[in-house]
């Protein structure tokens, strides 16, 4: 059975900032996050930037994540796009006192990913206010996030991942 990870027990942004100042600190952070979500350990996404307003993650192209054409597998692009959004959600959920879970996802592939891919997700305007006000009214609001995936070397967009997230007060 998976541990209860509904609300972060640490301030993820502070943790990232502290780890970033240490030699190999980000590597240690990445490995810790892979322990929290073991599925990601096989993909090995790295956190490049983490704030309450924006997250950038990346995954390197290597044999383990390649498809039969030598480019990045479609499922890996979904994973790195969702990872950026999930970290952005975690960076905000604790302060909002909310569990925020993915409800629906989609991805549009625009080019082959032939190298390291970065996924950037930025918090939409009024996200915090929207969620806080709806929760105060006893509602469970939905919020759409978008991760733009680009080839790190060329800057070419390779995909856009869209996630619909539902917020609710924690049970129990």
Instruction: For residue range 98-148, list pLDDT tens digits in order.
Output: 999 999 999 999 999 999 999 999 999 999 999 999 999 999 999 999 999
pTM equals 0.91
Phi, then psi, of 134 in degrees rounded to 5: -65, -45
Strand order in the sheet with 142-151: 46-50, 54-59, 117-122, 142-151, 157-168, 99-109
Least confident of 7-11, 17-21, 45-49: 7-11
Check residue 7 and give its pLDDT: 46
């Amino acid at each position: 059975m998976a541990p209860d990870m509904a609300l972060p027990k640490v301030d993820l942004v502070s943790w990232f900032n502290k780890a970033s100042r240490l030699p190999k600190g980000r590597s240690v952070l990445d490995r810790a996050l892979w322990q929290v979500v073991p599925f990601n350990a096989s993909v090995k996404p790295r956190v490049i930037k983490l704030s309450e307003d924006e997250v950038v993650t990346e995954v390197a192209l290597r044999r383990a994540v390649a498809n039969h054409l030598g480019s990045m597998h479609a499922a890996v692009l979904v994973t790195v796009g969702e990872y950026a959004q999930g970290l952005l959600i975690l960076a905000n959920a604790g302060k909002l006192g909310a569990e925020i879970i993915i409800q629906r996802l989609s991805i549009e592939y625009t080019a082959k990913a032939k190298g390291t891919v970065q996924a950037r997700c930025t918090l939409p305007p009024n996200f915090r206010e929207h969620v806080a006000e709806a929760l105060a009214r006893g509602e469970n609001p939905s919020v759409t996030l978008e991760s733009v995936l680009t080839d790190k070397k060329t800057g070419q967009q390779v995909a856009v991942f869209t996630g619909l997230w539902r917020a609710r007060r924690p049970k129990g």
